[in-house]
Structure 1
Amino acid sequence: MAVAAAAGAVGVPAAADTQTAGAGGSQQSDIVTLDLYNLTDIHGHIEPVFDKYTSEAGLSHMACYLGKARKANPDSQFTLLGDNIGASPFTSGTQNDNPTVEALNKMGVFASTIGNHEFDKGLDVLKARIDGSDPTHYAKINFPYLGANISGMGTYLKNYRMWQSPSGVKVAFIGAIEDDVATKLFPGTVDSLTFAKPVPVINDLARELKTVGGYVTGADGSTGTEKVKADVVIAMFDNDVERSYPQMGKYVDGLMGGDTHKPYYFTKVRGAEGNILSAVASGSFTDNLANLQLKYDRKAGKVVDSAAVRIPAAEVKKCGDDPQVKAVTDAAAAKSESIKNTVITSKAGKFYRASQEDANHVKGENRGAESTLGGLIGDVMKNSFRTLDNRPIDIGVVVAGDIRSDLATDSGKITVGDVFKVMPWSNEINYVTMTGAQFQKLLEQQWKELDAKSSRPMLKLNFSSNVKYTYDPARERGQRITSVLIDGKLIDPQAKYTVAGSSFLLSGGDSFTAFGDPEVKASKRTVPNRLDREWFGQYLEKNQNVQPRKAKSSVGVSVKEEPLKDGMVKAKVSLRGLSFSGVGEPRVEKVTVKFGANSVTASVNNTLYDPNAAQYSAIVTADGIGHTDTPADVSARVRCSGRAGQTVHIPLTVENEAGTELVGAVQGLGVDVTCPAADGSVAGGGAPGAGASVSADKTPVKVNRLVRTGAGVSAILILSAGLLGMGLSLRKRKIG
């Protein structure tokens, strides 16, 4: 796998290897260079943003660059990968995303894959955008949307669109989206649609387009009347590129992707049938322009070379502005300016979303990790309002995907527009009543099934500061939560807690089906008068000097036991999720694990790069920022004199280098050792096995451990009795 470099020329695209003359183009070479530019996940980010935190070119600079690229190489095309609108910043979002549509209409978009956010306002609004039936409210989209694996939209979506380049190469673009769309929308939004498995649809249609043919779209937008075979097929698959390219069959020549907001640039990697292709995802918010560059040999009738090229926003900016697109964005900005610049506070700290990096240290969003900004919004959800019958909210929650921008300025000044960037959804706020056991189930659902309802191994829930929990990533999915504290006390599985958050999440969005439990669903109520971002703004007004929390609220702790020897209980402790990832945010460099009266200090790896980011084995994207590379060896002596038949608890706690407690004794983690009865037998019957260890007083002892299945790594974290009623069982057996 190779990662392509950014475009070499400064501000001007490199010239093509071919020369054209007239329509259809006679050429001096059999090799045609196709520059297939693409953007994904624009989300209404139409304006340029360049500061120490963000680099976004905006659409005016993008349009300028694309214009020069087409002049340098007429065999160039421009497509989009979906989520062009929805969850947008203030300028576009407050105007129904019409400025984004109007700007894209002037950029020569050949086609766009449909994204899940195009459905945000429902099918009727999407259809009105496509057919122009409600121009008063929604600007008409002048380019086609593609969704080959979607049934139920009639002619509003197309399966593919074929372009004949000036050099005569016929390139078919197939659009498809992952079949988890319904989980990302309000329940019921797309109930009338059917989403087929996308990969077979793409591969089958690619084969058909190359062997049977399809219809070319003319320069005037008309569709040809006779089928022609495609020379090149590009899959425009709105899904994680790293997971998708190995599934592309031999008829697919290149892959464009999106959805994850992570930039991907894979040059000449292997597909499902040993075929070689390149694959790109630009990133998000106009942070990069992607070029899937192919070299097609007309004599051989095939693609002979390809490259994935990243063109950073700073490079795009050097081109300048496109006058027509800039007129659109300037008018939109002027319309929203007076409201957007209203200052809410001038004293706030810096709050960030979680982030990750690729192998080239290019940063991207990380929805699988806890963040300071998520924690702040959790506090907003808990402390801004009360229930309709005037009871306090017990727990505030926000899912990482609901947070669309950082909230960090050098001056501490936060405006209405800044708040809108963070929470652009216009969601209502709901609250529900859950038992402690149901809340634990909700926590377990953060780990997702990659081959069904999510392309991310984790979608992190961020909570109000009164919630702390530990988890064991080595356990089977559904059994990972090992302790939960609410207001400093172990959660009661039978007690009821009021949980508040966005209407999207509390309706079961992002596959958090615990909110769909009949009892929980029946308890759901709406907080009146304000939307999510309005409650956020009010909270900042009332808490002018709000600062980020100093330590993580969720920490991963895995323990692997070792045989008892000479009365010593020994274990290897692995930790993850110790640090935040934002610029200047708390990073744990050294961690101290205390086990009984003994302690050991270990170094912490704070890398943001994870080569397995889209896999079950992920660390960084599964709340593992700040992890120990090697387990810490801990031990404690067990004395059973005078404790016949009793259980001795060896507590395990964790502190950072500043002495801040990350895992406390109250959470009940540690090892339980059962001392033998007076007759020498161990609890549960029978004498100790031949391999049983003996403590200093020569009395056999036995370690109790939690039941586990699967991987064979024996966890010995023991929960206090308050959590054992939540489906976690304890098995006693001999050592040896």
Structure 2
Amino acid sequence: MSESTRTRARRRRLLTAGAASVGLVALAIPAAAASVPAHHPAPKHHHVPVHHPAPKHQPPKVHVENLQLLAINDFHGNLEPPAGSSGTIQEKDATGAVVSTPAGGVEYLATELRKARKGHRSSLTVAAGDVVGASPLLSGLFHDEPTIEAMNKLGLDVTSVGNHEFDEGSAELLRLQNGGCHPTDGCYAKGRKFKGADFEYLAANVTNEKTGKPILAPYWVKKVNGIKVGFIGVTLKGTPDIVTAAGVKGLKFGGEVETVNKYTAQLKKQGVKTIVALIHEGGYPAGNTYDADCDSPGAGAGISGPIVDIAKKIDPEVDAIVTGHTHNAYNCTIPDPAGKPRRVTSAASFGRLYTEIYLPINRATGDVIRSSVTAANHVVRRTVPKAADLTDLISYYQKIAEPIANRTVGYISADINGRGSSAYEKPLGDVIADAQLTGLAPADKGGAQLALMNPGGIRADLVQQASGSEGDGVVTYAEAFAVQPFTNMMNVIDLTGAQLIAGLQQQVSGSNEAAPKILQVSRGFTYTLDLTKSGADRVVVSSVRLNGEPIDPAKTYRVAMNEFLAGGGDGFAAFAGGTNKLVGASDLDVFTDYLTAHSSAAAPLAPPAQDRITVVGPGSDLN
């Protein structure tokens, strides 16, 4: 779909004129040698005419437009530098040791992107979804308007939607695209109306159930120095499984491959020969640093996960695939259906990296010279100058949020890791589950006997000394919000022992078998994971106990969990069969109340012992 009049009028961002060293170049392509007839020797004493050598054939020149793509994914509203492990990138130092380097922050990201564009007459900035959603307080408090405004300033051109773009429903997503004040909270400053995104949101595989039409543009075409470049944007087909039912109500999510191939055919009919897919689905690289060699020992061998199968089936006419969702960093080639290597990239998350991709395009044909496509991930280091306009934007919203953000809600004696923990049982997961049990155990609050927390809902760590000025051990409301940003309502439901055990088995089977989602459990609930086995058998049923007593399959238990889990989210269908539901306070309120009641400056909360889930077999060292 051609660039909209609204977007053109609003953006008016002209690409730098004039050829540059990496812009327009000419390549000589060898031509076949000219056929010259043989000349026989002339008879003696005869006049021999002079034979001039045949003119040499000059190789035809191929004029190449070197298109630079700068790509990010899974930004999640991280305007300020993320704290804890969420704000570092793994890389090798000069000795070859793996170290954690501070990275991220939109002020630094803007500086890096602007620096990268210099000297390039053809440059576009793209994203692969989850630009917003599950955001820290500075963005989440204002329904992610600050992040949209930040993306406008740093020059984002186009993005696919991700699953988190639906956290507040499709109507809110459309508002972020088109502008206007929030329907219930209104505008956040007198005379300041939210204008919406200057960039295009693409949702090719998200359709209205009634009309069958995409809720946003399926693709976007940009003319770059006379060459049509097309982008198709999709989110993962499984979005309804990882978003609350209210967020995806009335929507249908199609397959990634089928959708991309459908719109690739449409773009080809329009004469678009340079095509890029922006896909909010990803993979798991074998390497543990951001720049690990993904292709060693062979094409695609260094990466696993859903994107591998998707990439192998997407139309060969798609020249590159920018991905996201798994928050991993990789730069791979995966063969297309014709067996030709194709670049597939991801820039981790939270603005800690950006990917620089070069697509050399034959100006005569509009085709990408695939054998010459290159890509590299770059760290957004905090040693570069901050972009002043982004600093101003952050300061503006910080001033409005300050009374709420800086309120003290608790104290900790050491870092309590959640998002940054690689353990099956995460220290912060234990704290959150305990908070939910404590808040919902009273009879008038639901009578919960245990609590379960989905690991994907833990979005950050609690850091003893964060980047703010509050001092050692203080936990502010903003920091607690970063951990639990969804504000899901807590539920207490009846589950039989059999349903409870089935739910535990669904952690490591079905859709979760390849990438287990280990639930965080409250105090008194214990069991064993045997990683020498496979699928559901990895849960040792005889080991599942509550306060030392074996779980009785026929008995009914009162279980606290957030509304997402209670609705069967993340592949836990067993929990959707719960009955006698009581709706309680939000998960964030329960969390902050617990921190306030169970910690003080004199007696800060310590990291828990992580003694609830016993892990045996390979990988047991993670706990």
Partner of residue 182, structure 1: 240
Tell me which amino acid in the other structure corresponds to 1:30. Answer: H
What aligned pairs does 1:362-381 form with structure 2 within 5 A after superposition?
A: 369-381=424-436
Measured against aligned partners, the alpha-carbon deviations of 1:442-467 in whole angstroms (never above 9, x if no partner) come to 101112545xxx79621221101212
Question: What is the aligned partner in structure 2 of residue 510 from structure 1?
Answer: 570
- 2:227 maps to a residue whose letter is V
Q: Please say if residues 426 and 610 of structure 2, whose CA atoms lie closer than 8 Å, have aligned partners that are also in contact.
A: no
- Does 1:196 pair with 2:254? yes
Q: Distance in 1 between matches of 2:393 and 2:86?
A: 26
Paired residues of 1:159 and 1:175 also in contact (CA < 8 A): yes
Pick 1 or 2: higher relative contact order, CA cutoff 8 A, min separation 6.
Answer: 2
The 5 A counterparts of 1:102-121 are 102-121=149-168
Q: Does 1:577 align with 2:586?
A: no
Instruction: Give the match for residue 97 of structure 2.
Output: none
**2:413 is aligned with 1:348:** yes
1:43 pairs with 2:76: yes
CA deviations on 1:84-127 (whole Å, 9 max, x unpaired) are 11111011111121111111122322211011111111222222
**Contact 1:44–1:84 under 8 Å retained in 2:** yes
Given the alignment of the two structures, is residue 405 of structure 1 paired with residue 466 of structure 2, yes or no? no
Deviations 1:343-379 (A, max 9, x none): 2334433211255xxxxxxxxx86x833111111111
Does residue 239 (structure 1) correspond to residue 288 (structure 2)? The answer is no
- Give the Cα separation in 2 of the matches to 1:140 and 1:448: 41
Please say if residues 411 and 605 of structure 2, whose CA atoms lie closer than 8 Å, have aligned partners that are also in contact: no
Q: Distance in 2 between matches of 1:378 and 1:390?
A: 16
SS in 2 for 1:264: strand
Whole-Å separation in 1 of the counterparts to 2:181 and 2:419: 39
- Relative distance call for 1:334 and 1:391 in structure 2 (3 A) is closer
CA distance in 1, matches of 2:114, 2:619: 47
Measured after TM superposition, the shift of residue 427 of structure 1 is 1.5
Cα pair distance change 1:90/1:188, threshold 3 Å: closer
Q: Does 1:160 align with 2:219?
A: yes
2:245 alignment partner, SS class? coil
Q: What is the aligned counterpart of 1:418 among 456, 468, 479?
A: 479
1:38-89 CA-partner distances (Å, limit 9, x unpaired): 1111111112347787234322322232223333212111012111111110
Amino acid at match of 1:505: L
1: CA distance, partners of 2:258 / 2:215: 22
> What residue in structure 1 maps to residue 373 of structure 2?
306
> Residue 415 of structure 1: CA displacement?
1.4
**2: CA distance, partners of 1:157 / 1:390:** 42
Deviation at 1:392, TM superposition (A): 4.2
What do the CA deviations read for 1:227-276 (whole angstroms, capped 9, x no partner)?
Answer: xx22321110100145323333311111101111122221x332233121
Map of 1:609 onto structure 2: none
CA separation of 1:328/1:456 partners in 2, compared to 1, >3 Å: closer, same or farther? farther
Q: How far 1:150 moved relative to its partner? A: 1.9
**1:348 and 1:413 in contact (8 A); partners too:** no
Which residue identity is paired with 2:609?
K
1:47 is paired with a residue of what secondary structure? Answer: coil
* Structure 1 residues 292 and 162: CA distance shift in structure 2, 3 A: same
The corresponding residue for 1:275 is 340
Aligned partners of 2:473 and 2:80: how far apart in 1? 22
2: CA distance, partners of 1:379 / 1:29: 66
Q: 1:488 aligns with which of 548, 561, 582?
A: 548
Per-residue deviation, 1:485: 1.6
Moved more, 463-472 or 151-160: 151-160
Alpha-carbon distance in 1 for matches of 2:281, 2:84 = 29
Give the direction of change, closer, same or farther, for the CA distance of 1:459–1:391 in structure 2 (3 Å limit). Answer: closer
Identity %: 26
Are 1:354 and 1:369, in contact at CA under 8 Å, matched by a contact in 2? no
The structural deviation recorded for 1:128 is: 2.6
Q: What is the alpha-carbon distance in structure 1 between the residues aligned to residue 481 and residue 111 of structure 2?
A: 28
1:4-23 map, 5 Å: 17-19=22-24
Can you list the C-alpha shifts for 1:621-650, whole angstroms capped at 9, x where unaligned? xxxxxxxxxxxxxxxxxxxxxxxxxxxxxx
Question: Residue 149 and residue 155 in structure 1: after superposition, are their counterparts in 2 closer, same or farther (change >3 A)?
Answer: closer
Say which of 323, 331, 339 aligns to 1:257.
Answer: 323
Question: What is the rounded CA distance, in whole Å, between the counterparts of 2:80 and 2:175 in structure 1?
Answer: 25
TM superposition shift of 1:319: 4.4
Question: Quick check: 1:149 aligned with 2:175?
Answer: no
1:536 to 1:391, Cα distance in 2 relative to 1, 3 A: closer
Spell out, residue by residue over 1:313-332, the C-alpha distance to the aligned partner (whole angstroms, 9 max, x if none).
Answer: 21xx4542333333222201
In structure 1, the residue corresponding to 2:125 is in which secondary structure?
strand
The amino acid of 2:223's aligned partner reads: Q
Alignment partner, residue 501 of structure 1:
561
Unmatched 5+ stretches in structure 2: 1-19, 26-60, 88-101, 188-193, 284-302, 466-471
* 1:478 match: secondary structure: helix
Distance 1:376 1:16, change over 3 A: farther
What's the secondary structure of 2:222's corresponding residue?
strand
Equivalent pair of 2:568/2:576 in contact (CA under 8 Å): yes
Deviation at 1:180, TM superposition (A): 0.8
- 1:468 maps to 526
TM-superposed CA distance for 1:391, in Å, is: 6.5
What is residue 733 of structure 1 aligned with on the other side? none
* Residue 288 (structure 2) aligns with: none
Cα distance change on mapping 1:390 and 1:293 into 2, 3 Å: closer
For 2:152 and 2:264, the matched residues in 1 are separated by 28
Distance (whole Å) between structure 2 residues aligned to residue 188 and residue 509 of structure 1 = 12
Matched residue type, 1:48: P
Question: Is the contact between residue 207 and residue 214 of structure 2 (CA under 8 Å) also seen in structure 1?
Answer: no
Identify the range of structure 1 (278-287 vs 123-132) with the bigger mean alpha-carbon deviation. Answer: 123-132
Give the residue type in structure 2 aligned to 1:37: L
Q: Is the 8 A contact 2:23 2:121 kept in 1?
A: no
Assess if the C-alpha contact under 8 Å between 2:140 and 2:485 holds in 1: yes
**Could you tell me which residue of structure 2 aligns to residue 597 of structure 1?**
none
Matched, 1:525 2:597: no
* Structure 1 pair 388–323 and aligned structure 2 pair: CA distance change class (3 A): same
Amino acid of the structure 2 residue aligned with 1:382:
L
TM-score, normalising length from structure 1? 0.64
Gaps of 5+ in 1: 1-14, 21-27, 214-228, 356-364, 558-573, 581-736
Whole-Å separation in 2 of the counterparts to 1:448 and 1:308: 36
User: How has the CA–CA distance of structure 1 residues 119 and 391 changed in structure 2, closer, same or farther, with 3 Å as cutoff?
Assistant: closer
Residue 384 of structure 1 aligns to a residue in which SS? Answer: helix
Deviation at 1:383, TM superposition (A): 1.6
Q: Which moved more, 1:291-300 or 1:97-106?
A: 291-300
SS, match of residue 596 in structure 2: helix
User: Per the alignment, do residues 431 and 578 of structure 1 end up closer, same or farther by CA in structure 2, a change over 3 Å counting?
Assistant: farther
Match of residue 555 from structure 1: 614
Whole-angstrom distance in 1 between the partners of 2:508 and 2:253: 23
Report the TM-score when normalising by structure 2. Answer: 0.75
State whether structure 2 residue 397 is matched by structure 1 residue 324: no
Per-residue Cα deviation, 1:203-230 (whole angstroms, up to 9, x for no partner): 33224423x12xxxxxxxxxxxxxxx22
Distance 1:278 1:371 in 2: 35
Query: Residue type of the partner of 2:379?
Result: P
